[in-house]
Amino acid sequence: VEAWSDNRQRKFSNDFKFGVSTSAYQVEGAWNVDGKGESIWDRYFHDNPKVITDGRNGDEACDSYYYYKRDVEMLRELGVDYYRFSISWPRVLPSGFPNEQNKLGFQYYDNLIDELLKYNITPMVTLYHFDLPQKLQDLGGWVNPLSVDWFEDYAKVVFDKYTSKVKYWITVNQPNSICTSAYGEAAMAPVLNKGVSEYECTKNVLLAHAKAYRLYEKEYKNKYKGSVGISMSLNWADPADNSTENVEATEVFRGFNIDLFLNPIWSKTGDFPSTVKKIVAKKSKQQGFSESRLPVLSPKEIKLLRGSADFLGINHYTTVLVKTSDEDVQSPSFVNDVGVEIVLGDKWKQSQSAWLRSAPYGLYKLSIYLNQNYDYPTIFITEHGWSTKPGLRDRSRVENMRQYLNALLLAIEDGTNVKGYTVWSLMDNVEWQAGTSERFGLYEVDFESKDKKRTARMSALVYKRIIDTRIVEEDWEPKHLNIATL
């Protein structure tokens, strides 16, 4: 029992929703089948196979393109309320534009959505989870200001098609990962490293989101009553110790990693946060730029963005500890603007992913931070998960899930407005550069087998039990792992 906890049995209310998540590139496979266009991840991994830990890319992944009925069967076994999956933009619009609409690509999503609805499972659709059409990347991708309109056009096609069937929409998954990892750290496709691009990307992705939101609000909302949100990668950050400089470094870190993305949408005043504006302006000046590398949002853009979400999707995995950095790197980049060093708690349990350790209190503290700074936003936890090696008896995932759900129950008790919780992931999949070397699934996938055989792990049975009972039992264990007969 943590200091912030006690022994009371808490319960998820009956209207709290439970779900699981995947994304198109990571599970669908069929990368060049039935007219699908190339995505930036297809291109990146085909050109650079060596960056993938175990060499397994998304060409086949879980072959969900073929086995979606099995996926829905698993959702039924779990008893989840909703399934969060993403639509592959290049599968439905191979050129990136609505001029070419791929019937067979849409057929796949028609089938998946209908199969879900047949069994009363709510679809939660992410429009964009990292897989930009390569043809749009060739035009500059997210640093081209026209990307705002490209995305709006794409969103319109998809809204038109599924508005009567889909009530939960997420425009973009993790703008902060897209813009800082892919356009800054060279850690995600398309791998650019320009120093200025992180912020241009941030502005464009946020505006793209807001335009899609306003489009839905204007054209569909009254009639179809759906909700549109956006998912942010929001891990918690604490100072490595209580020294003034590390406390200040942590505030800077939060400014760049949380507030830069939330302030424009959830704050009363809108716009990028003033702390971040000041730091980037100052460094830009020192570096000889004539203007801040952080672009200005016009009054019109600020207004467009402010309030442009019905819910905040939180992808929360872990906590980091922040210290000041010894080296003061002068070359322009997002990372250097933040200018801190990150460590992980040495007592925290380590997962199979280097970046991921278990620190459940962080979810609680993050919730309180968001409540205080953004006035109790409506939240869905749109991803939380834990990685292991292959194996069905995944006790570390069970323990991690229980502890984080307990932290969430405390956050709810303290007023956090959370509507639902989503496990990443329904099944093992292609974890980007980690390939299949890090397993996040409630179901194990045998990638060597012909039908990408899926088998429930212990965590799947435990999650089913939590959904069923609405409580988190410390020591319940299934007697066998056959979820179909549980």
Judged by CB under 6 A, the stretch of 173-181, 257-265, 276-284, 324-332 that binds ligand GBH is 173-181
Q: Which is nearer to ligand GBH, 367 or 382 (CB)?
A: 382
Cα–Cα distance between 65 and 364 in angstroms, integer?
37
Q: Which of 425, 421, 466 is nearest to 443 (CA)?
A: 425
What is the edge-to-edge ordering of all strands in the sheet holding 340-343? 236-239, 319-324, 340-343
**Helix (H, G, I), strand (E, B), or coil: what is residue 146?**
coil
Nearer to ligand GBH, 64 or 177 (CB): 177
Three-class DSSP category at 107 = helix
Quick check: 126 binds ligand GBH (CB under 6 A)?
no
- Name the catalytic one among 28, 77, 301, 383: 383
Closer to ligand GBH at the Cβ: 320 or 456? 320
> Which residue bears the tokens 């349990």?
349
Residues 6+ apart with CB under 8 A from 109: 87, 92, 162
Sole window of 139-147, 158-166, 172-180, 460-468 interacting with ligand GBH (rule: CB under 6 A):
172-180
424 binds ligand GBH (CB under 6 A): yes
Compute the distance between CA of residue 242 and CA of residue 322 in angstroms, rounded to an integer.
11
- 41 belongs to the binding site for ligand GBH (CB under 6 A): no
Residue type present at position 176? N
The secondary structure of residue 472, as a DSSP letter, is: -
Q: With respect to ligand GBH, which residue has the nearer C-beta, 64 or 173?
A: 173
Question: Does 315 participate in catalysis according to the annotation?
Answer: yes
Least CB distance from residue 317 to ligand GBH, whole Å?
6
DSSP string, 90-144: HHH-TTSSTTS--HHHHHHHHHHHHHHHHTTPEEEEEEESS--BHHHHTTTGGGS
Stretch near ligand GBH under the rule CB under 6 A, chosen from 73-81, 143-151, 170-178, 212-220: 170-178
What is the bridge-based pairing of β-strands 168-173 and 236-239? unpaired
Tell me the per-residue interface mask from 268 to 307 with ligand GBH, x by CB under 6 A, - otherwise: ----------------------------------------
Query: Roughly how many angstroms between the first and final C-alpha of the chain, as a whole number?
Result: 30
Q: How far apart are CA 42 and CA 354, in angstroms?
A: 24
**Token digits of residue 177:** 């990962």
> Any residues with CB less than 8 A from the CB of 282 and at least 6 apart, and which?
none
Segments in 180-243 forming alpha helices (H)? 197-219, 221-224
Can residue 351 be called a binding residue for ligand GBH (CB under 6 A)?
A: no
DSSP H helix total and E strand total for the chain? 18, 13
- What whole-number distance in Å separates Cα of residue 383 and Cα of residue 356? 14
Shortest reach from residue 354's CB to ligand GBH, in Å: 6
Is 350 annotated in the active site?
A: no
Q: How far apart are CA 371 and CA 379, in angstroms?
A: 10
Select 27 or 252, whichever has its Cβ closest to ligand GBH.
27
CB 481 within 8 A of CB 392: yes
Q: Quote the least distance from Cβ 187 to ligand GBH, whole Å.
A: 4
Residue (51 or 157) nearer to ligand GBH, CB:
51
Q: Name which position in 97, 289, 355, 369 contacts ligand GBH (CB under 6 A).
A: 355
- 257 or 403: CB nearest ligand GBH: 257
From the list 177, 197, 246, 308, the catalytic residue is 177
DSSP state of 441: -
Catalytic residue among 317, 364, 421, 463: 317
Element (H, E) at 64: helix 64-78
Q: For residues 426-465, which are near ligand GBH according to CB under 6 A?
A: 431, 440
Residue 263 annotated as catalytic: no
Q: Of 261, 424, 253, 246, which Cα lies nearest the Cα of 323?
A: 246
Among the listed residues 39, 86, 173, 358, the single contact to ligand GBH using CB under 6 A: 173
- Residues 174-233 binding ligand GBH (CB under 6 A) are 174, 177, 181, 187, 233
Alpha carbon 211 to chain centroid, angstroms: 20
Q: Which of 56, 84, 402, 439 is catalytic?
A: 84
Decide if 177 is catalytic. Answer: yes
Q: What CA–CA distance (Å, rounded) separates 114 from 158?
A: 15
Asked about 73 being catalytic, the answer comes back as no
Q: Which of 26, 173, 174, 351 is catalytic?
A: 174
Site string for ligand GBH, 229-268 (x = CB under 6 A): ----x-----------------------------------
Q: Which of residues 304-323 bind ligand GBH (CB under 6 A)?
A: 315, 317
**394 forms part of the interface with ligand GBH (CB under 6 A):** no
According to the binding rule CB under 6 A, does residue 39 interact with ligand GBH?
no
**Up-side HSE of residue 57: CA atoms within 13 Å toward CB?**
17
* Residue placing its CB nearer to ligand GBH in the complex, 139 or 187: 187
Whether 383 sits among the annotated catalytic residues: the reply is yes
Instruction: Verify binding: residue 383, ligand GBH, rule CB under 6 A.
Output: yes
Binding site residues, ligand GBH, CB under 6 A: 23, 26, 173-174, 177, 181, 187, 233, 315, 317, 354-355, 383, 424, 431, 440
- Residues recognised as catalytic: 84, 174, 177, 315, 317, 383
